[in-house]
Structure 1
């Protein structure tokens, strides 16, 4: 199998060139400058199903082919770490490359709690090769693709609905109750002379519908409420510590504003706690 190996560019002196343009004798500690990848025509080939490492990759290739999305299987191996003699000591080979979209796809069917090592490799790849676009598809993404984009070679299996936990009426009643409680709290805690309405911020795109429903109930109680949204990203450092970063902040001026956070789901509370502290640093009260 033909594989392209992406590695740092060497100068005429034999040293590695970094993105800052300064030569370095320690390739392990510095991020290498990313050279242009060679054309993929050398590795495009007819691929049989027996060459795939996992049945999920076969299913994914069928979906791509059926919807006429050009793809190449494992065309590039990226070096992530180097030994003292300059040879790669750790490599990462994404499963698919989509040349029309200039996007690499890594497909994993491992359960969410088992993909920590693969996430670490992707973070390292993005650090060393910032111009390379790559997307990791988890097990849940793969299953959603099979349901949403069936192809004739894989007959779709009938789906059955599970037990209903909460009826639509019960959910509407609970949203109304939450909205009334928020309205009462806003009125009770309003400071004399306060002119700006409380700012309700939705955390992530998944909170939009819930945010709109709650805000609608609050406004029906004749309480003013402004809205905005933020987007967060979550990642792990090389040491394994979990971190949160604001990738899109609110567009509203936060100085002196009271803020209400609305999230669609809370697991550990790490993201919401980080966001609350971040908003306080921006001047929110």
Structure 2
């Protein structure tokens, strides 16, 4: 879906499809250089990371393995408490593996911090983060992001996997959702 199809729902388009694809290509080149000759396991965090994971994986000129996790963070409304439960666990054994967590967005960092600890407890050789978006103003914990697409303002964004009420995920760009939609 193109952003102009829902222009009334958006305050502005923050990142175009071209900007996103260009940055993912740059990140892919970094990942290829850092993991040359290695067997990397990409771990996508459902549901938001589906678009990022698919496009990043297709951009990589190397063999990778992919797996998925779904986690739920308890909290009120749009805020995370950091209390997490696993809805869908990995099918892969992480022992001795190089793991690259692929995320759509990092807000508070609480859920991702928990996820990193959980995955590190499973015996991988390394765990790194690749995130398309990060909201530095929303951070409540410090997350070391090795591969970052864009820092964005602390606004409610949708598109490219990010949703509001399970809508807007299929928008090709990332936009700031107009407050009248979620207020």
Please indicate the TM-score interval, normalised by the length of the shorter structure. Answer: 0.5 to 0.7
Aligned to 2:31: 182
1:72-102 Cα offsets, whole Å, 9 max, x none, are: xxxxxxxxxxxxxxxxxxxxxxxxxxxxxxx
Question: Aligned ranges for residues 84-123 of structure 1 at < 5 Å?
Answer: none
Unaligned ranges ≥5, structure 1? 1-157
Aligned to 1:272: 112
In the alignment, the residues of structure 1 paired with residue 69 and residue 56 of structure 2 have an alpha-carbon distance, to the nearest angstrom, of 17
Matching residue within 74, 92, 102 for 1:235: 74
Unaligned ranges ≥5, structure 2? 1-6, 76-80, 126-183
Cα distance change on mapping 1:227 and 1:170 into 2, 3 Å? same
Alignment of 1:224 onto 2:63: yes
Aligned to 2:14: 165
Matching residue within 26, 47, 51 for 1:205: 47
Offset at 1:247?
2.2
Query: Which is richer in helix?
Result: 1
Offset at 1:280?
1.5
Alignment of 1:249 onto 2:94: no
Query: For structure 1, which segment, 245-254 or 205-214, has the greater mean C-alpha deviation from structure 2 after superposition?
Result: 245-254
Offset at 1:160?
6.0
Cα distance change on mapping 1:205 and 1:262 into 2, 3 Å? same
How many equivalent residue pairs? 116
Aligned CA-pair RMSD: 2.5
Higher RCO by CA contacts (8 Å cutoff, separation 6 or greater): 2
Q: Is the 8 A contact 2:82 2:114 kept in 1?
A: no
Runs of 4+ aligned structure 1 residues displaced above 4 Å come to: none
Query: Which is richer in strand?
Result: 2
In the alignment, the residues of structure 1 paired with residue 9 and residue 98 of structure 2 have an alpha-carbon distance, to the nearest angstrom, of 45
Alignment of 1:281 onto 2:121: yes
Cα distance change on mapping 1:234 and 1:174 into 2, 3 Å? same
Offset at 1:165?
2.3
In the alignment, the residues of structure 2 paired with residue 280 and residue 165 of structure 1 have an alpha-carbon distance, to the nearest angstrom, of 34
**TM value normalised by structure 1:** 0.37
In the alignment, the residues of structure 1 paired with residue 50 and residue 11 of structure 2 have an alpha-carbon distance, to the nearest angstrom, of 25
